[in-house]
Structures are given as structure tokens and as C-alpha cells.
Amino acid sequence: MQPNEHLLIVDDDPEICDLLQDYLQQNGYRVSVVGDGSGMWRTLERERIDLIVLDVMLPGDDGLTLCRQLRTASDVAVIMLTALGEDTERIIGLEMGADDYLAKPFNPRELLARIRGVLRRARGDIGETEKVRFSDWTLDRNVRHLISPDGVVTNLSTGEYRLLEAFIGHPNRVLSRDQLMDILQGRDWGPFDRSIDVQVSRLRRRLRDDARESAMIKTVRGEGYLFTAKVKRIKS
């Protein structure tokens, strides 16, 4: 674990908050707890937060709305807590920019494993000091900025960044959905799990890459996805 990793739990259920705060603190994290979006924004203004555990059902703005708003203002990692079996909430959460999701009720040990995985990916564990260029786009790995051909800078979520890294690391090679799921979330997936498709769709929008006439991320029917751009690494 990295020192001073600070988690923020946003949930209006005091029992869940107390349980998670105690458990995560026992595992070495600094933990803050708030009950709604207003408290979340106040905490983000005064504290450096490494990851937010965000419940979907909240008073005022719900978790999906807050996740969307977060993605316009921050690249902080987000794990969504959704109702059991609510696939729609899970998919929308990923579309809004969540890095992972967990259905209630859940075992705190599973949440801990998800938190560790997301934070590990958020830290990058790559160590490069380089930029990558492809199809007139630039990925600045130091700050996780995606720079468009016309100079527009976009902050990528952890999920978007990891997916783009996967494609950049395997240009002109078909990556199956299970390979991408393993890279992104490190867990098994079901045959009807479309979360990878959601993540790819979001990344295509970032890259202004129309799925119907895709130039960079092509769908290979029955196999997966193919990143066709020529990749050039630039040491800085």
C-alpha cells in the first residue's frame, strides 16, 4: 500500500459507513465518510482523495449524477455501489466514468480487493516518463492527459486510461473481451457482461472515433477489438 492513501465513502446508510470505515482503517487506509453529494464536494475542496466509494442511491443528486459531474472536474478513482442485480445502474455507472462497481450486499473483503486493484491501476505501475502519439493524438502518461489533434486536453478516468494503454500496448492485434476485462478489472466476467463494450464506447467518444466508421478501434465480430493506429513513443 502506498502511504497516505485517502478514501472517501459517500453513502447515507450510517451502519454501512461505520462498518466500512472501521474495516478499511484497520487495513491501513485513511477514511472519510459523508452522506450525500454536498458533503462529497466539500471534502474534495479541502482534502486530497485517492478513491471514492460512491453509492448510487443518495439523497439529492444520486450517485450516477455525481459520477458524471466528477468526470468533468476530476480524475479521482470511483467505485460505484449498486443494488443487487441492477445491471442498468452498473452499465450507466461505467458510462458515467466509474472505474469499477460492486453490488449490495457485499463482503467488505471484496470491496477491499476492488479498492486495492483500482488504486494499483490508478498509480499506473508503469513508471514511464514518455508521451505516446497515435493518429495525431497524444497521450501524456505523466498526467494521464489525452491531447487531441487540435490541442484540446482531456483528463482520462482510470478505466479509460487503462483501456487506452491496453490498445496502445497491443496495436494491430485483436484483443478479446476477456483479455480486456482482465487488464481493466482483473476478474472474471459472464458471457452477457457488456461492461467492456461500454468502456470501449466511452473511449471511442473521447477519440471522436465513430463506431460505424471506426478508424482506430475496430470491432472484430465474434473476437474482440483491434487498435489500428500507428503508435510512436516519445521520451521526455
Do residues 103 and 206 lie in contact, with contact meaning Cβ atoms separated by under 8 Å? no
pTM: 0.59
DSSP per-residue codes, 116-184: HHHHHHHH-S----EEEEETTEEEETTTTEEE-TT--EEEPPHHHHHHHHHHHHSTTSEE-HHHHHHHH
Residues 179 and 225 in one domain: yes
**pLDDT in the model for residue 124:** 57
Residues 112 and 185 in one domain: no
Residues 95 and 152 in one domain: no
Residues 16 and 119 in one domain: yes
Measured CA to CA, the distance from residue 195 to residue 189 in angstroms comes to 9
Instruction: List per-residue pLDDT tens for the chain, 236 residues long.
Output: 444 689 999 999 999 999 999 999 999 999 999 999 999 999 999 988 999 999 999 999 999 899 988 887 787 889 999 875 566 666 777 777 788 888 888 899 999 998 988 887 766 554 444 788 898 899 987 777 899 999 988 888 777 888 898 898 888 888 888 778 776 655 444 444 567 888 888 889 889 887 666 688 999 888 899 999 988 887 65
- Single out the residue in 67, 93, 123 at which a domain terminates: 123
Measured CA to CA, the distance from residue 27 to residue 5 in angstroms comes to 11
Residues 20 and 110 in one domain: yes
- 1 lies in a domain? no
- Single out the residue in 123, 143, 178 at which a domain terminates: 123
Residues 139 and 205 in one domain: yes
Q: What is the CA radius of gyration of the chain?
A: 18
Domain, as residue range, for 46: 6-123
- 45 lies in a domain? yes
Residues 114 and 27 in one domain: yes
Residues 138 and 115 in one domain: no
Do residues 230 and 136 lie in contact, with contact meaning Cβ atoms separated by under 8 Å? no
- 147 lies in a domain? yes
Q: What are the helix (H) ranges across the chain?
A: 14-26, 37-46, 63-73, 87-96, 108-123, 158-169, 177-185, 195-206
- 72 lies in a domain? yes
The residue with cell 467488505 is 108
Give the CATH number, domain containing residue 207.
1.10.10.10
Do residues 15 and 23 lie in contact, with contact meaning Cβ atoms separated by under 8 Å? no
**pLDDT in the model for residue 162:** 83
- Single out the residue in 106, 123, 140 at which a domain terminates: 123
- Domains: count for the chain: 2
**pLDDT in the model for residue 236:** 54
Measured CA to CA, the distance from residue 157 to residue 162 in angstroms comes to 9
Residues 101 and 181 in one domain: no
Dihedral (CA of 222, 224, 227, 233) sign? negative
